[in-house]
Amino acid sequence: MTQFKCLLNNFYIMYKDGMFILTNTQTHESYELTAEKMAILGDENKAVLDEDFVQAGIVGMSAEAKMQELADDWPFPPITRLLTESLSINKNELEMFSGRQFWENYLGVCSQILEQEHHFVQPDFIKVIDLPDASEIDGKFYDLLKQRRTVREFYKQPMSLQQLADILFTTFGRFHEGFGDKYMDVGKTISWRRSSPSAGGLHPIDAYIFVHNVAGLESGLYFYDCHEHKLRMLKHGNWEKELLEVLMGQYFYQNAAIHIINVGNLHKVAAKYQHSRGFLFPYIENGHLLQTAWLSAVSLGLKCWMSCAFCDEFLRAELSLKKYMLPISIMSIGYGCDESLGPRIHKELEEIGYARDFVANMAMASTCKERVKTK
C-alpha cells in the first residue's frame, strides 16, 4: 500500500468511479487525481515540487506527524473525523438570503415534501390494526406536549435567573443522584444521571450559554458546571448581531433571552466506546436533551426555537473548542408569541406578496433548498 507522506492534516483521499478524489475537509474543495498525479503524490520529493500540489496547499506535514496529531486530538478512527469536518460549515461557505428569496428557500421544500408524501414507499404489511385512542396519558403531561412547538418570534422580555437555573438543572444537572440499584450505587462519582438517557451514563454533552436578557445576570458567554450547578462566565459581551450571519440569516432567534449551545465531547464517549459508531452517540443524546429543555421551558411559560444549521467555525473560535469537541445545536429560549409564524413574520410575508392562508398551507411553488456556497 502506498504511503502518502506529504499530505496536510486536513486532506483525505477517497476512491470513487475509477477516480481518486482528494478533499480538503476545511475548505470543502475537492480535486480529481490522475494516475500520474497519484504516482507523484506517493513520492514526497516529487510532490513538494509539483506546482499543482503547492498551489492547492496539499503538500506539507509528514504522514507520521499527521497520524500523531490525529492520535493526540481525535479519539476515533480517521473516517469519523473526515465525516465531522466535511459536514461542518465554515465562514467561507456562508450564504445569506433575505426577503422573498429567504422564504422561498425556507418554505419551498416543505410544501414539495408534503405534496409528495403519499408517493413515499411504505414497507409491506399483511394487515392493519386499529389502535385505541391515547387516553391513559396523564392530563398535565399531555397538555405540556401539546404546548411544545417551535416559535419564530420572541419578545424583548427578560427571563429570571430562577427560570434559567430550572432549565439547566432539569436538562443537564445531576437530576438523579444514584441509579436506585444495589449493584450500581457503589458510591462512585459515575453513579449519577441526568433526566434523559446517555450511552454508558457518560453524559458527553456540555452546555454553553449566550446570555442576552436574564434579570440580574450580565450579558456574556457562560459554561454550565453540571457537577456543582453553577454558571462559569467565559466572556463578556453580546452576540446578537453576529448570530445572524452564524445562523445564515435565520433571524428567528432575535430577542430571545438565552441561546444554549450543546457541545459533545468525543473523548468522554471514546473512553468506553472506541468503535466508529460511538462518535454518533452525542448526536443521539443531543435530541434527548433538546426535548427535555424544551418541555422544561414550556412548563415555565417560555418559548423555544432551535437550529443545527450554523457556522461551526465561528462557534469553535468563540467557545475555544478542541477538535474533538462538537458544537451540535443552538437553542433559543425566552418569552414569545404562541404561533409558529408570529405577527412580525406575517407582516413581512404580506409585504413581499405572500398571503397568510397561502403560507399556512405551505403552497409554495419553489423547490429551493437551504444551502451554503459550493465551490
Domains of the chain: 11-73 (no CATH), 137-352 (3.40.109.10)
| The residue type at 357 | D
The structure's pTM equals 0.77
How far is residue 188's CA from residue 228's CA, in Å, rounded to a whole number?
Answer: 16
Burial class (CB in 10 A: 0-12, 13-18, 19+), 177: exposed
b/e sequence 114-135, b meaning 16+ C-beta within 10 Å: eeeeeeeeeeeeeeeeeeeeee
Q: Identify the pLDDT of residue 59.
A: 65
Residue 50: closest CA among 61, 60, 64:
60
Q: What is the pLDDT of residues 30-84, one digit of tens each?
A: 777 777 777 777 666 666 666 677 666 666 554 445 555 555 577 877 677 777 7
192's torsion region: left (phi>0), alpha (psi -120 to 50) or beta?
beta
Whether residue 59 contacts residue 8, with contact meaning beta carbons closer than 8 Å, is answered with: yes
The C-alpha cell of 257 is what?
433571552
* CA-to-CA dists, residue 260 to 117, 124, 327, angstroms: 33, 42, 11
Q: Which residues pair with 232 in a beta bridge?
A: 223
Residue 314: closest CA among 28, 92, 23, 74:
92
| The residue type at 254 | Q
Q: Identify the pLDDT of residue 366.
A: 37
State the average pLDDT over residues 92-100.
75
Residues in the chain: 375
Q: Identify the pLDDT of residue 178.
A: 59
Segment holding 311, helix H or strand E: none
Q: What is the pLDDT of residues 252-307, one digit of tens each?
A: 999 999 999 999 999 999 888 988 888 899 999 999 999 999 999 999 999 999 99
pLDDT at 4 over 70: no
pLDDT greater at residue 215 or residue 120: 215
Q: Identify the pLDDT of residue 121.
A: 66
Which range among 108-112, 232-236, 344-348 has the greatest average pLDDT?
Answer: 232-236
How many CB atoms are closer than 10 A to CB 32?
11
pLDDT tier at 374 (50, 70, 90 boundaries)?
very low
State the average pLDDT over residues 161-175.
96
